[in-house]
Amino acid sequence: MQAISETTSNVVKETSDVTGDIAKAARGAVQGAIAGAKEISLDTTEAASAAATGALKAAEQISSKAAQQVARR
């Protein structure tokens, strides 16, 4: 699950670097984590949680506004 969290964190950070919509990126990464977990028979709740945690941690490093945007998604 650590890899999922780190990957999602990187997605959010890289999206921010190119001034993209980090909330959309976070949502897409969480959805992707769920889909991937289903494909390889992992617990989808744990995968979603790991992805959401990674996204929120990255957003908090960017700014409080970014964290609020990600948390609302």
Task: Note the pLDDT of residue 27.
Answer: 96
Res. 73: pLDDT tops 90: no
> Could you give the number of structural domains in the chain?
1
Residue 29: which of 62, 70, 72 has the closest Cα?
70
Task: Note the pLDDT of residue 67.
Answer: 95
Looking at residue 41, what DSSP letter applies? T
Q: pLDDT tens, 3-61? A: 999 999 999 999 999 999 999 999 999 999 999 999 999 999 999 999 999 999 999 99
User: Could you tell me if 66 and 49 are in contact, meaning their C-beta atoms sit under 8 angstroms apart?
Assistant: no
Beta-carbon-side half-sphere exposure of residue 64 (alpha carbons within 13 Å) = 0
Range of the domain at 8: 2-72
Task: Note the pLDDT of residue 72.
Answer: 86
